[in-house]
Structure 1
Amino acid sequence: MRRKFLSAIAGATLGLLLNLICLVPTFAQSDPLPSWNDTPTKQAIVDFVRRVTTPGGSEFVPAAARVATFDNDGTLWVEQPMYVQLAFALDRVRALAPLHPEWQYTEPFQSVLAGDMQALTGFSERSLLDLILLTHAGMTTDEFSKIVVDWLATARDPRFRRPYTELVYQPMLELISYLRANGFKTYIVSGGGVEFMRPWTDKVYGVPPEQVVGSSIKTKFEMRDGIPTLFRLPEVNFIDDKAGKPVGIYEFVGRRPIAAFGNSDGDLQMLQWTTIGGDGLRLGAIVHHTDAAREYAYDRQSHFGRLDVALDAAAANRWTVIDMKKDWKVIFSFDAR
């Protein structure tokens, strides 16, 4: 009797072990990018990660050197019909207008207050920059962060009628998580304001403030009522766009990325810096907006997020072009509900 009991226990234990052994490959092979279609684009990303993370392989990259950079507008969340930060700035113009009666007769403020959004596309980058400077300065950094957080809690996108923080691309969220799970350190490198992004990127993307590189205005240290503060000035400090992106990466990250993801000509130099001339295997990828039904379709002629020179460079440099319509099962998390 005792022998039969021990035999039964041994058989059950062996069966359990066999079941566990069978389960391990299932977990290991589970899809890390479930919102992506099984296309060559997805396979190129997965192959890249496998090759640089396989110990003993000729293309293995130590974890400390696994740096991936992501543009924000149009790469991680929507940038049409205008950049989210520009929408924020326009609302700031309206909120501050009672304190500036001269804005009724001064462009581009006059067009904003008149609701003439079409006129904004004709203004120079300098005019829009002045608009942002005057609406983002004159307060402490803590006060500005609160204004940003409060605005994001109530603002709604004009097409989808949802908070902007819900209009992030689910496939890219999965990609960030997939890279982090494989030892990558992920950075946002955006032409948008670093102070505009840092209050919410950790919650939305899992990217902490110290891993956000962006444009900035000047700040100065002041003691106010015995409290140390940083006060925001209406002066440009650094523009993290186009050729500024590699500079920002060099100064704030300190390592050349081995993977970079963008969507516009503003990301061209970041992609070049990442993929051309560096040692070892590298990945450059461009999110191409091709889905007018689920999001937007635009590239060479767009006022926001123009993709022209970088699209041609993608073929020459063998960068991966992510076709939103073909490569993504869903675009936003609420698409899958």
Structure 2
Amino acid sequence: MAFVIRNIRVVWLAIVLLASCSHGNAFAQSDPLPSWNDGAARKAITDFVARVTTQGGADFVPPAERIATFDNDGTLWTEQPVYFQLAFAIDRVKAMAPQHPDWKARQPFNALLERNPKALAATGEKGLLQIVAATHAGMTTDAFANSVRDWLATSRHPRFNRPYDSLVYQPMLELLAFLRANGFKTFVVSGGGVEFMRPWMERVYGIPPEQVVGSSGIVKFQIGVDGKPTLMKQAKLEFVDDGPGKPVGINRFIGRRPILAFGNSDGDLEMLQWTAAGSGLRLAGIVHHTDAEREYAYDRQSKIGRLDKALDAAAAGGWIVVDMKRDWKEVFPPPMTAGAKGTKP
């Protein structure tokens, strides 16, 4: 019986991986978005892709111009109860606190050390970036990447008791794969730290490091004590890729305006506006967190991932609003496939 169960698990894993394959196959082609319920959101996506990829059609877009950008926190993976990068930084703050007594009177450090989740949430992504800048100075980029990988391998989400990188959205994994199978180039454009995201995104999303745009700190080239060149992280922010910074980051690092963009919060508003304002057919989408049972339900009043102005803009502009509870059959991948879903674009 154990042998049979193991083989069933292997077959199921193979099916899931095939469904996420970026090169397309009979299974994926018959149902490219199996975790999406039939409805307006799914139809809008598939119709859009069909129109921009139909050679000779009025809305055809050459493959080189099929750029799709996605926010990360709350759009591709869970962002509650705090941004995951903040959870990663907490351990270092606690370890370093004795050497920084001034943190007791400074936010966001005081909120973290006093375990005040409301005050910590109120600092938002800017607070996260302050913590990251203060706690990772003097570390090489390679050492930092290794610390991120180690944390993901050992840490668990406080509610779901699963690795953080398993709390990615199965429907969005399918959407990424569907787009790549149709000649799109997929990018992450996030307010999170770019060096926090790059070590794992190719494995999980199939998005390589060069297609990840995020907030960044100053990095300095220097020769180490062993005579080898290194890149050292400095305690100073260089670029904040959030809000109006997102279209600036797209212009700076991608160089093409997206024809499709997805976000979930007011921090994504400007990216969605920038995408929708381009010429030709465009698709702007929002993931609306409405499922408290399977994930979380929040929008206008949330300190994390607030969706207020962008929700109004979506209604006014005819953007897609994906209702998590209504539009998704599944939220997360099966636990046994977590962290093994991505395929190269």
Q: Same fold (TM over 0.5)?
A: yes
1:127 Cα offset (Å): 5.0
Q: Distance in 1 between matches of 2:156 and 2:208?
A: 24
Q: What SS does the corresponding residue of 1:199 show, helix, strand or coil?
A: helix
**Residue in 2 aligned with 1:234?**
235
1:183 aligns with 2:183: yes
Contact map agreement 1:246 1:270 (CA 8 A) in 2: yes
1:121 Cα offset (Å): 3.1
Residues 134 and 28 from structure 1, CA distance in 2 versus in 1: closer, same or farther, beyond 3 angstroms? closer
**Residue in 1 aligned with 2:274?**
273
Q: Distance in 2 between matches of 1:188 and 1:140?
A: 23
Residues 166 and 126 from structure 1, CA distance in 2 versus in 1: closer, same or farther, beyond 3 angstroms? closer
1:108 Cα offset (Å): 3.5
- 1:97-145 C-alpha deviation (Å, 9 max, x unpaired): 3443554565443432333323323447655543221012221111111
Q: What SS does the corresponding residue of 2:30 show, helix, strand or coil?
A: coil
Residues 223 and 60 from structure 1, CA distance in 2 versus in 1: closer, same or farther, beyond 3 angstroms? same
Q: Distance in 1 between matches of 2:175 and 2:212?
A: 17
The within-5 A match list for 1:45-64 is 45-64=45-64
Of 183-192 and 131-140, the range deviating more from structure 2:
131-140
What is the aligned length? Answer: 312
* Equivalent position amino acid for 2:254 in 1: V
Contact map agreement 2:32 2:178 (CA 8 A) in 1: yes
- 1:131-180 C-alpha deviation (Å, 9 max, x unpaired): 22101222111111111111111111111010010000000000000000
**Residue in 1 aligned with 2:74?**
74
Q: CA RMSD in A?
A: 2.0
- 1:1-23 C-alpha deviation (Å, 9 max, x unpaired): xxxxxxxxxxxxxxxxxxxxxxx
Larger RCO (alpha carbons 8 Å, 6+ apart): 2
Q: Distance in 2 between matches of 1:120 and 1:28?
A: 42
**Residue in 1 aligned with 2:119?**
119
Q: What SS does the corresponding residue of 1:88 show, helix, strand or coil?
A: helix
* Equivalent position amino acid for 2:216 in 1: S
- 1:31-57 C-alpha deviation (Å, 9 max, x unpaired): 100000011110110000000001111
Long gaps (5+) in structure 1: 1-25
Q: What SS does the corresponding residue of 2:113 show, helix, strand or coil?
A: helix
The within-5 A match list for 1:1-337 is 30-104=30-104, 106-123=106-123, 127-225=127-225, 226-276=227-277, 278-334=278-334
Superposition TM-score, scaled by structure 2 size: 0.86
Q: Distance in 1 between matches of 2:200 and 2:290?
A: 28
Q: What SS does the corresponding residue of 1:200 show, helix, strand or coil?
A: helix
Superposition TM-score, scaled by structure 1 size: 0.88
Residues 75 and 48 from structure 1, CA distance in 2 versus in 1: closer, same or farther, beyond 3 angstroms? same
Q: Distance in 1 between matches of 2:123 and 2:32?
A: 43
Long gaps (5+) in structure 2: 1-25, 338-345
Residues 94 and 72 from structure 1, CA distance in 2 versus in 1: closer, same or farther, beyond 3 angstroms? same
Q: Distance in 2 between matches of 1:175 and 1:125?
A: 26
* Equivalent position amino acid for 1:88 in 2: F
Q: What SS does the corresponding residue of 1:56 show, helix, strand or coil?
A: coil
Among all aligned residue pairs of Structure 1 and Structure 2, give the percentage whose two residues are the same amino acid. Answer: 65
1:94 Cα offset (Å): 1.5
Contact map agreement 1:194 1:213 (CA 8 A) in 2: yes
Q: Distance in 1 between matches of 2:222 and 2:143?
A: 14
1:223 Cα offset (Å): 0.8
Q: What SS does the corresponding residue of 2:251 show, helix, strand or coil?
A: helix
**Residue in 1 aligned with 2:4?**
none
Q: Distance in 1 between matches of 2:27 and 2:109?
A: 56
Of 143-152 and 108-117, the range deviating more from structure 2:
108-117
